[in-house]
Amino acid sequence: MPIITSKDALFLLLCAIVHLVYRNQQKRRLLPLPPGPRRWPIVKNTFAVPLTNAHVHYQELGKKFGSKILFLEALGRPMLIVNDLDMARDLLEKRSAFYSSRPSMTMITDIVKIREWFSFMPYGDYWRVHRRMFQQHFSEKHLPYIEERAVGLIRKGLLANLLEFPDGVTEIIRKCVYSIRLEPMGYPIQRQNDPLVNLAEETFGVMSIIASPGKYFVNIVPALQHIPDWMPGAGFKEVAKEVRRNVDKLIAEPFEATMQMMTDGTAPPCFVTETLERLKSNKDYEVQAVYAKQTAAMIFGAVSETTVTGLKSFILAMLTHPDAMRKAQQELDDVIGTDRLVDSSDIPHLPYLSAIIKETLRWNPITPMCAPHQTTEEDVYMGYYIPKGCIVFANTYAILHDEEVFPGPEEFQPERFLKDGKIRDDILDPEFVATFGFGRRICPGARIARPLLYLVAASLLHLFDIVPALDRDGNPIKVIPQFKQAAIISEPLPFQCKMIPRKGRDVEGLLKGYIGTDPI
């Protein structure tokens, strides 16, 4: 009788394991895909993928198919759309081990070649190193210092400038936000027309456009990136080169300026100085210093446009809902009075303002389609097969405009977050849920974006009334809330307004020590 040796037994065991794995994979692939529109031969759903306002389209598509989860495929790229909060949490948080990568975004990652910012990196060790470096500086214990610096920049770069230029509201806010975002690099910022702030504003504005699928067809058909530069339709390559040059300048100049100040002994405490000081004993200091430079640049690049958009939505909401503005101003007067400026310690005592911020983030979600995740493994969810390499979008708009959770979702109603004058804890909170993403890829700047939104909003309403601009005949220009055709960011269409000092408020006296200071 033949004797099975230990080697034979091991071989048979391995064969059995391989067979079981293969059979399990085949069973998975025999499962149905989630509901979705019909996929045509070759092109699949390529021409059914909207280039703008995808959030509204997918919300309506979900209603059509009676499903909160949808599957599409465009030129071989499988896509999963999630219109439900619980489902988004199931996939992107509870199963984050294989739902946390990033897909390649052709124009940004392959042509402009912005691969050094961890927001765009695929999930892995390289991403972990950069994110850990970011989190070490922007931890909870650092927040008080960060907020203190933000308060000073808001007073010098925002409030003082608005007193001088009351019609330039959105532009002044934009430059102030970029100034605050440059501060972690230790760069001394000029109160007006700082060249690096201007360059950052221009560059990241262009980046938010070129990253959208609707601007350049190469984002839909990645193979187009290989066409020669001289061919008609290859103009996107020249745009990419210009953006890359500007990004290199934004990465290098403030970092080198801070390095020089460190050498001179004049550098202020900031992300760059503290990180380099912590790393100086590392054997791979040179490599880590490069990572620090890349991470520092991402701090102001990744979240500046989204923060500006959130504040523009806030101003639009106050302009078109003056009753809500007056209630917030009354609360500010009760808590702060009229003889001092807003401070970060005041924010926890402003529930109505908090309700306004939450409702602003819900009413017009900054990124209505959450930044895409990508699966690194096959999966089965609710009996549906989810392929490896599937691009997963959580539909933030659909989640925050769910009529079952938020009745009358198109209406601006801060009171929906209040009960007996306090913030409700039994309702979805847009400040912490969906707005800034999910799981391991949640926006790294959310921790500093939230207090910044509060500080700017409170500071503005405490000193100023937001009122309509006047036409040639001196009549108020009526503003109806409208938003751009969103590809990535849902930004209000341009609107006119002005800031006027509130009656009975010595705004100039309160800001006396902050007017005309340079650098800020």
pLDDT for 438-479, tens place per residue? 999 998 888 889 999 999 999 999 999 999 999 999 999 999
| Candidate ranges 16-20, 141-145, 171-175, 185-189; pick with highest mean pLDDT | 171-175
The per-residue pLDDT for 1 is 46
Asked if pLDDT for residue 250 goes beyond 80, the answer is: yes
The per-residue pLDDT for 10 is 61
Three-class DSSP category at 509: helix
Lowest mean pLDDT among 12-21, 403-412, 504-513: 12-21
Q: What global pTM score does this model have?
A: 0.89
For residue 256 the two structure tokens come to 């080198």
For residue 56, which of 406, 403, 434, 395 has the smallest C-alpha distance?
Answer: 395
For residue 56 the two structure tokens come to 């509204």
pLDDT for 326-376, tens place per residue? 999 999 999 999 999 999 999 999 999 999 999 999 999 999 999 999 999
CA distance linking residue 158 with residue 156, whole number of Å:
6
For residue 189 the two structure tokens come to 């910022």
How confident is residue 405, by pLDDT bands cut at 50, 70 and 90?
very high
The per-residue pLDDT for 27 is 46
The per-residue pLDDT for 388 is 97
Which residues are registered as beta bridge partners of 391? 79, 374
CA distance linking residue 325 with residue 467, whole number of Å:
10
For residue 117 the two structure tokens come to 């910012």
pLDDT for 214-231, tens place per residue? 678 888 778 889 999 999
How confident is residue 28, by pLDDT bands cut at 50, 70 and 90?
low
The per-residue pLDDT for 3 is 57
CB 264 within 8 A of CB 255: no
Rounded to the nearest 10 degrees, what angle do helices 285-320 and 235-264 cross at? 110
Mean pLDDT of 142-164: 89
Three-class DSSP category at 44: strand
For residue 58, which of 359, 362, 369 has the smallest C-alpha distance?
Answer: 369
Strands 391-394 and 77-82: parallel
Strands 497-501 and 464-468: antiparallel
The per-residue pLDDT for 24 is 46
Does 443 appear as a known binding residue?
Answer: yes
Asked if pLDDT for residue 195 goes beyond 70, the answer is: yes
